[in-house]
Amino acid sequence: MKPFRTIGVLLGLTAASFLQAQELTKDATKLYEQLCASCHGDKMQGGQGTSLIDDVWNRGDGSDEYLTRMITEGLPDVGMPGFGGALDAPRVRGLVVYLRERAVRSQEEQTEYAKPVEGMEVKGRAANFRIETVASGLGVPWSLAFLPGGDLLVAERSGQLRRVRGGVLEPESIAGTPKVWAKSQGGLMVVEAHPDYARNGWIYLAFSDPGEKAGEAMTAVVRGRIRDGRWVDEQQIYRAPRESYRSAGVHFGTRLVFAEGYLFFGIGDRGAQDQAQDLKRPNGKIHRVHDDGRVPVDNPFVKTPGALPTIWSYGHRNPQGIVARPGTSGAGFQLWETEHGPRGGDELNLVRRGANYGWPLITYGMNYNGTPITSETGRPGLEQPVLHWTPSIAACGLDVYSGDQFPGWRGNLLTGSLKQQELRRLVMNGEQVIEQEVLFRGIGRVRSVQVSRTGDVYVCLEEPGRVLRLVPVK
Ligand code: HEC
């Protein structure tokens, strides 16, 4: 142990004088290179210090708390200097996120994921399946709606609403759908059929609505009917206040969820993170309206002066998956949501009435450039995610499995991932996720995962744009 101690003291001194000599960077990657790589290796593979990517933790459980303590206090006796005096809490937090990223990436490199092509059998933990192409030759399919008799509507980001009739993608898109702002993360995001569609024929669309001022857009929701290949009877369900339209191309959120006569949808922070906390603003919120757009009188902020009455919950960064999960007692439902964190800190939330999910006051992520947002991951009065993905998977699309095709998946959540190109299965025990399985990876960015009423699992994929169905293999 003695040589370690000497080296530790020496390097500790070097670090200290380095810190004095120049303004300390906030970038976690650079901090690691400057302060840690000499002992833990440039790839975190270990050296005088231990490997930080082998998932073996010598003196603790590898949790965020443990890593934070190690970096702050160190282990002076064995040559791990404490950096608490030199690094402020946000920088330490950034390093923890960075260590986590590298450790997970390294584990992933050693894991084999199913990368199915048509016809190939995938052996899963609770079910075996193969994939089947339902529609191809699409632009960027963002979501789909199930119509009676097995037909589908597919929303393409560009604004086209396509129809799959009798298993065949019709060449003509539905005429007369609303004009969308199809740029960056904006476009025609969601198509959804009313639960009572067979009787009332209502189809709902959520999209980036071009504002009156050129170059500005905001999330909006309409409903209409389709007659003879045309979009007709359009009614506005939700349109945000004019002053909330922004030129930013990011974080439109959405998903449309019907539950007990209500319609829930999310709007991302639109790149203005602080507004997620402002109840006078529609962005960074989940909203609840009646299925015809009226504001429910029992919404949580209807009596709060200045607050927008449609708000159901707030402090959301960018909701990309929302689903109503039937209550465990057979009655009622729970609203589950996934949202994109910044770099790290994608969240799975159980959304409660009027609750604040904390963005950007608390987060498990950091800025894309590796600088910290805050060191705070929790605060009294702010909700914690049920789980967070750090590093981010860019969770997109969310549904709960029910049906007979995959009995082993019943009650599980299914989530897509853009960045990792994955379909993930989350095994639930009550309100906890107790297991995660990557069902497949690497065949395209997953925009949407949706379970049909007959228990088929459909997935919208990008590059090339197509819709797949998972078919059970006994
Ligand atoms: C002077 C060498 C040195 C430097 C610089 C150094 N470490 Fe360490 N580190 C060590 C040693 C030695 C250990 C203890 C190994 C053991 O468990 O015996 C250690 C342990 C750790 C552990 C616990 C590992 C485990 O297996 O439980 C973490 C986490 C860690 N260091 C992170 C860092 C970070 C982050 C930095 C940069 C901010 C850093 N270290 C800088 C030498 C160093």
The residue whose CA is least distant from atom 6 of ligand 1 is 36
Sheet holding 432-441, edge to edge: 395-400, 413-417, 422-429, 432-441
CB within 6 Å of ligand 1 — which residues? Answer: 4, 7-8, 11, 35-36, 38-40, 48-50, 52, 57-60, 67, 70-71, 75, 78-81, 83, 95
- Domain assignment of residue 155, yes or no: yes
The residue whose CA is least distant from atom 24 of ligand 1 is 57
- Indicate if 290 belongs to the active site: no
Distance from CA of residue 161 to its chain's centroid? Answer: 24
Q: Rounded mean pLDDT of 225-231?
A: 97
- Domain assignment of residue 117, yes or no: no
The residue whose CA is least distant from atom 7 of ligand 1 is 80
Residue with tokens 């819709």: 467
- Domain assignment of residue 115, yes or no: no
| pLDDT above 50 (res 373) | yes
The residue whose CA is least distant from atom 26 of ligand 1 is 57
* Given the residues 251, 316, 340, 388, the one annotated as active site: 251
- Domain assignment of residue 325, yes or no: yes
Classified as helix, coil or strand, 233 is: strand
The residue whose CA is least distant from atom 12 of ligand 1 is 49
Clarify whether residues 149 and 78 are in a common domain: no
| pLDDT above 50 (res 273) | yes
CA nearest to 275, candidates 250, 239, 255, 292: 250
Please report, for the chain, how many H helices and E strands are present, in that order: 6, 25
Clarify whether residues 89 and 166 are in a common domain: no
The confidence score (pLDDT) of residue 258 equals 98
The confidence score (pLDDT) of residue 19 equals 52
Clarify whether residues 103 and 203 are in a common domain: no
Q: Which two tokens stand for residue 448?
A: 């949407």
The residue whose CA is least distant from atom 28 of ligand 1 is 70
Residue after which a domain boundary falls, among 42, 77, 109: 109
Helix H, strand E, coil C: the string for 105-118 is HHHHHCCCCCCCCC
- Report the DSSP beta bridge partners of residue 346: 389
Cβ-proximal residues to 204 (8 Å cutoff; 6+ apart), any chain: 190, 191, 192, 193, 194, 221, 222, 223, 237, 256, 263
Q: Rounded mean pLDDT of 99-107?
A: 95
Clarify whether residues 341 and 210 are in a common domain: yes
The CATH number of residue 244's host domain is: 2.120.10.30
Classified as helix, coil or strand, 298 is: coil
The confidence score (pLDDT) of residue 178 equals 98
Q: Rounded mean pLDDT of 159-188?
A: 96
End-to-end C-alpha distance for the chain, whole angstroms: 57
15 CA to centre of ligand 1 in angstroms: 14
- Domain assignment of residue 17, yes or no: yes
91 CA to centre of ligand 1 in angstroms: 16
Atom of ligand 1 nearest to the CA of 66: 29
Clarify whether residues 199 and 169 are in a common domain: yes
The confidence score (pLDDT) of residue 353 equals 98
393 CA to centre of ligand 1 in angstroms: 27
Which band of pLDDT confidence, cut at 50, 70 and 90, is reported for residue 236? very high
Residue whose CB lies within 8 A of the most ligand 1 atoms, among 5, 34, 39, 65, for a mutation test: 39
Clarify whether residues 321 and 202 are in a common domain: yes
189 CA to centre of ligand 1 in angstroms: 46
Torsion, CA 410, CA 416, CA 417, CA 422, rounded to 10: 70
Residue 315's identity, in one-letter code, is G
The confidence score (pLDDT) of residue 22 equals 57
| pLDDT above 70 (res 76) | yes
**DSSP letter (8 states) at residue 227:** E
Clarify whether residues 155 and 13 are in a common domain: no
Range of the domain at 461: 122-473
- Domain assignment of residue 114, yes or no: no
The confidence score (pLDDT) of residue 8 equals 42
pLDDT digits (tens, 9 = 90+) for 419-436: 999 999 999 999 999 999
The confidence score (pLDDT) of residue 5 equals 41
CA nearest to 441, candidates 398, 400, 393: 393
The residue whose CA is least distant from atom 37 of ligand 1 is 36
Q: Which residue has the higher pLDDT, 327 or 143?
A: 143
The residue whose CA is least distant from atom 40 of ligand 1 is 36
- Mean pLDDT rounded to a whole number for the chain: 94
Clarify whether residues 315 and 284 are in a common domain: yes
Clarify whether residues 52 and 177 are in a common domain: no
- Domain assignment of residue 69, yes or no: yes
User: Cis peptide before 90, with omega less than 30 degrees from 0?
Assistant: no
Clarify whether residues 100 and 128 are in a common domain: no
Clarify whether residues 227 and 184 are in a common domain: yes
The confidence score (pLDDT) of residue 4 equals 41
| pLDDT above 60 (res 12) | no
Q: Which residue has the higher pLDDT, 188 or 22?
A: 188
Q: Rounded mean pLDDT of 392-415?
A: 97
| pLDDT above 60 (res 89) | yes
The confidence score (pLDDT) of residue 9 equals 44
Residue whose CB lies within 8 A of the most ligand 1 atoms, among 42, 70, 95, 98, for a mutation test: 70
Residue whose CB lies within 8 A of the most ligand 1 atoms, among 33, 50, 67, 102, for a mutation test: 50
431 CA to centre of ligand 1 in angstroms: 36
226 CA to centre of ligand 1 in angstroms: 63
Residue after which a domain boundary falls, among 57, 83, 109: 109
Atom of ligand 1 nearest to the CA of 60: 27
| pLDDT above 80 (res 6) | no
- Domain assignment of residue 391, yes or no: yes
Residue with tokens 């003695």: 2
Residue whose CB lies within 8 A of the most ligand 1 atoms, among 24, 80, 101, for a mutation test: 80
The confidence score (pLDDT) of residue 463 equals 87
The residue whose CA is least distant from atom 18 of ligand 1 is 78
37 CA to centre of ligand 1 in angstroms: 10
40 CA to centre of ligand 1 in angstroms: 7
Residue whose CB lies within 8 A of the most ligand 1 atoms, among 1, 40, 63, for a mutation test: 40
The CATH number of residue 72's host domain is: 1.10.760.10
Total domain count for the chain? 2
Clarify whether residues 250 and 330 are in a common domain: yes
Which band of pLDDT confidence, cut at 50, 70 and 90, is reported for residue 286? very high
52 CA to centre of ligand 1 in angstroms: 8
